[in-house]
Structure 1
């Protein structure tokens, strides 16, 4: 079958690293309750947030990395490389899962605070069902609070090989099929079961849309849409929709402000349906993507500014930084619970956590460079 996708240009796109770093920092801040610093994250000013950005970039990066390999070396090689990445993600999740529940359990016992067990959805590990709960955790059905994103990423990457194969040949048809699955899942209530009850917080049938959308953009969808992206009418619509999203989000956060709007308008956007990726949420993220493509090109000189280096490095070491950030968010939450929770404490916890995540990213980058062989010395010239 003819290849209809446009492969991305070779070379690193620093925009992906930068915004993935932003997503990791924002996820860390958003996971700390009662923290004034998380007011700087995008979830407070629109319908979408860092999770949408993380999933989109994951789909974009997966296509950026594996599409050329699948074309040049065949489907089997591409699929096995993707499977290897899935295994790395799963191992990282298991390590994080174990360390996370042990840390929370230790804190609950050490400080005689059993409520923290329930707060982080670990009650099943304290009773007769502990073994079954652990088994379900390994099957990705049981997830403590804040450990929802990585299982979603594992599932989406695990199912990506055939999707990528089709995307390379029929990108628009694949994107339409993804939209159809999203709409059907919302209409018929499809989701994966959770344990001990309920369903996945991030419905994979719906959130696959952002992952596939990222892949579609990477494989030529964005470039082929430049006429629409650069149209004046598109810019006006984007500005209007961003303002609408800001107003409706603020209306949900401040009840007195929300009461100023008709119930039909307020109810159309609130509460924000994150689990099933509400249409207005997806559209908000599409608008953000359009604005970034329009105003932050790949060759934007600002991407080389030193001030962005910490974010770029955190984005380049995304998996490790994400895992460290999830663990540190619990530590930060606990510290604020045990302290006064003052403004100074919130700022200190937030900045310290981000600094630690950044140090981990820089260390891993340095360590990887040490693994590379040194360049051979130039041969001495014989006179």
Structure 2
């Protein structure tokens, strides 16, 4: 049976990413980045690791390592082609909009000004995933993480905890030694450091391979629940202080020196801890057989989660279109709400159309109306999927 939680939380993350990518959009106050230290990126990467292990471990068990590795590389190629299309189309969208509205600041803000300074070199750097416009960073991160999977799969199958320990060591080394990948043209580094973010990807994969450990996390333990809730509340106060000056003034200087900077690029420990605490609390109400996951009102979110790659790419175009509307027509609260609502509606419509197209000629999926016979894990195995396609991006 398909675990609807994977689709729901991935779809919700895609909606949040779209909303957060529209500058000046007050509707973004409802997204998770304003209620704690982690945001939709952590959700997306963790679920990507979980679903990657789910899909490709099954292929490894049934067809062996070579075939599983070939399928991973095939998926990476699909993601790479999607990224190149997204890069070209998004660059064209921004450049055309900047020209129509005579606003060259768009090219600066969206990070494509360097492309026109030397298009030939920029194209080559884009092929190497080093030149990237704004908002496209998560897709190259996922490509690099997925490329490591053929090496990780055999270890994940036999020694998942050893793999997790190695991932922790790589994370620590990257933080201490400042490891990251270079970008072009400014000589910077990747916004999402793959040497750090791999920990969350591997954590998701490990949870999929350790169902007993995962199932234990769904059991309510008073002390752990209070600790997680307390950390979430403290994180909420910290994030709120960034917007309310009197609250920020209450923080002791010595504490600020310990906490800051809270790096998103290097997946700061405070962000990682916030995501883990949030995941534990959420799992107390989001179980495999939770009836609320089948509410009709949530079906649009789940549909988007099932078509995550296409919906993500579409959301990139829609977020810039929304930014253009707010900048050149109206930035009123009504306009912000309308832009957000229309954008989400378009993403849902696209996901619905893709789901219909893919379902033609196929037998209907078995509904996840009851828990599986075995004890449900926090993220229980999904229904059998076509092995050639990883649904996590």
Q: Tell me if 1:169 matches 2:166.
A: no
Name the residue aligned to 2:57. 67
Q: Tell me if 1:344 matches 2:370.
A: no
Name the residue aligned to 1:130. 119
> What is the rounded CA distance, in whole Å, between the counterparts of 1:292 and 1:341 in structure 2?
34
> What is the rounded CA distance, in whole Å, between the counterparts of 1:256 and 1:364 in structure 2?
49
Moved more, 63-72 or 44-53: 63-72
Name the residue aligned to 1:379. none
Q: Tell me if 1:368 matches 2:336.
A: no
Where in structure 2 are the equivalents of 1:102-113 lying within 5 Å?
102-113=92-103
Change (3 A) 1:224 1:114: closer
Name the residue aligned to 1:301. 291
Task: Identify which of 27, 32, 35 aligns with 1:42.
Answer: 32
Q: Give the paired residue count.
A: 363
TM-superposed deviation, 1:65: 1.0
Q: Tell me if 1:150 matches 2:139.
A: yes
8 Å CA contact 1:182, 1:206 repeated in 2: yes
TM-superposed deviation, 1:266: 3.1
8 Å CA contact 2:217, 2:280 repeated in 1: no
SS for the counterpart of 1:47 is coil
> What is the rounded CA distance, in whole Å, between the counterparts of 2:302 and 2:152 in structure 1?
29
Where in structure 2 are the equivalents of 1:198-217 lying within 5 Å?
198-217=188-207
Q: Tell me if 1:273 matches 2:300.
A: no
Name the residue aligned to 2:246. 256
Where in structure 2 are the equivalents of 1:10-29 lying within 5 Å?
11-29=1-19
> What is the rounded CA distance, in whole Å, between the counterparts of 1:300 and 1:192 in structure 2?
41
Per-residue deviation, residues 171-210 of structure 1 (Å, max 9, x unmatched): 1110111111111100000000011120000000000011
Where in structure 2 are the equivalents of 1:179-218 lying within 5 Å?
179-196=168-185, 197-218=187-208
Q: Tell me if 1:30 matches 2:10.
A: no
TM-superposed deviation, 1:263: 1.7
> What is the rounded CA distance, in whole Å, between the counterparts of 1:114 and 1:292 in structure 2?
44
Per-residue deviation, residues 267-320 of structure 1 (Å, max 9, x unmatched): 433443100000010011111121222321111111111111000000000100
Change (3 A) 1:238 1:81: same
Name the residue aligned to 2:69. 79
TM-superposed deviation, 1:350: 0.5
Task: Identify which of 85, 88, 95 aligns with 2:85.
Answer: 95
Q: Which has the higher contact order (CA 8 A, sep 6+)?
A: 2
Per-residue deviation, residues 217-270 of structure 1 (Å, max 9, x unmatched): 111166356169532111010011001110111112223311111122234334
> What is the rounded CA distance, in whole Å, between the counterparts of 1:183 and 1:251 in structure 2?
29
Task: Using structure 1 for the length normalisation, give the TM-score.
Answer: 0.92
Name the residue aligned to 2:379. none
8 Å CA contact 2:72, 2:146 repeated in 1: yes
TM-superposed deviation, 1:82: 1.1
> What RMSD in Å do the two structures reach over aligned CA positions?
1.5
User: Structure 2, unaligned stretches of length 5 or more?
Assistant: 365-393
Per-residue deviation, residues 86-116 of structure 1 (Å, max 9, x unmatched): 1111111111111100011111112211111
> What is the rounded CA distance, in whole Å, between the counterparts of 1:102 and 1:228 in structure 2?
47
> What is the rounded CA distance, in whole Å, between the counterparts of 2:256 and 2:19 in structure 1?
27
> What is the rounded CA distance, in whole Å, between the counterparts of 1:211 and 1:190 in structure 2?
17
8 Å CA contact 1:45, 1:249 repeated in 2: yes
Name the residue aligned to 2:311. 321
Quick check: which has more Rg, 1 or 2? 1
